[in-house]
Structure 1
Amino acid sequence: MTETLSPVLPDQVDRAARAVLEEACNRDLTLATAESCTGGLLASLLTDVEGASHAFERGFVVYTDAAKSELLGIPLGDIERFDAVSAEIARAMAEGALKASAADVAIATTGFAGPGAPGDEPGLVHFACARKGRDTLSREEHFGDIGRGPVRIECMRVALEMLSQVL
């Protein structure tokens, strides 16, 4: 069980986090996160399991376009062209996290956890998972207008599924 987050996480997410970390440890792989709409929650989850700290390399919380560009090397022109909440930028975030770290696998989230600007779809989230030497996977989810907290919890579930698949 995760130590700090377990009171608010569904058991399925808690078990999935432990399984991903165990698999990463067994394969001697390290993980990185690049998070926008989840605001570091995934990194917090992956560092909350006692005994698995060596599997997590680092996390990037890149909430603004400038942060995505400065920390992950994504050209601002690409963010303007594709939009920060897009499959292209999610892939660029995951690949940028690999390049900017010593991790073997990186997971990225970008989306709208709650109400945004007019025309933004609440609950739209793009995910990408990159592993050195492999193609980057991406996934789009439409969680709906279920609220910021529930969207972030669902993001944890999807991100852990993708990490498990890539490991």
Structure 2
Amino acid sequence: MNVAALLDRAKSKGVMIATAESCTGGMVAAALTDIPGSSAVVDRGFVTYTNKAKQQMLRVQPETLETHGAVSEEVAQEMADGALRNSDAQLTVSITGIAGPGGSEFKPEGRVCFGLAVDGQKTITETVEFGALGRDKVRLTARDHALDLLSRGLSSIAQ
């Protein structure tokens, strides 16, 4: 993923971006802000590692967390929507997952749920099973996938 090109595209469309991250701990926001001039496009990043932070900063509903767990598309959707609502961005991506080590039979290591919110469009979610690649690799792969999602989201926004 060419992050500089992503930022240039967002700038040309007048689109601001925000991130809502859990298992990646701000890696997507860091990748975006590593590029000089990114402040023209990157509004903010939310690192919501705990359930309480997800509720306080993004208004993820306690019922959603209780019913589906933090690693779920439902929570990823509420995170992406919350980032959109609580920022000046028109495009947001969210990530919540199990980077490892560990996991369970029902939520294995390497399962990551993503949300992509575009102002005025239906939020999309997806789950990717990266597998037990190890914590660092899962986080890096999830970061790259989120950057790809942002690129796809930009493509859905008219000039």
The answer to whether TM tops 0.5 is yes
* 14, 35, 53: which one aligns with 1:28: 14
AA partner of residue 68 (structure 2)? F
Structure 2 Cα separation of the partners of residues 117 and 164 of structure 1: 30
Structure 1 Cα separation of the partners of residues 90 and 49 of structure 2: 23
SS state of the match for residue 30, structure 2? helix
Structure 1 stretches of 4+ moved >3 Å: 116-120
Alignment of 1:27-106 (within 5 A): 27-106=13-92
Structure 2 Cα separation of the partners of residues 58 and 51 of structure 1: 14
1:158 corresponds to 2:145: yes
1:111 corresponds to 2:97: yes
Structure 2 Cα separation of the partners of residues 21 and 116 of structure 1: 35
Change (3 A) 1:94 1:20: same
1:130 corresponds to 2:130: no
Gaps of 5+ in 2: 155-159
RMSD: 1.1
The TM-score, its normalising length taken from structure 1, stands at 0.88
Aligned length: 153
Deviations 1:5-42 (A, max 9, x none): xxxxxxxx4x2x12211111110100000000000011
Structure 2 Cα separation of the partners of residues 91 and 104 of structure 1: 15
How far off its partner does 1:117 sit? Answer: 4.8
Gaps of 5+ in 1: 1-12
The TM-score, its normalising length taken from structure 2, stands at 0.92
Give 1:10's aligned residue: none
Question: Is the contact made by 2:77 and 2:114 (CA closer than 8 Å) also made in structure 1?
Answer: yes
Question: Is the contact made by 1:112 and 1:122 (CA closer than 8 Å) also made in structure 2?
Answer: yes
Structure 2 Cα separation of the partners of residues 28 and 163 of structure 1: 14
How far off its partner does 1:51 sit? Answer: 2.1
How far off its partner does 1:160 sit? Answer: 1.3
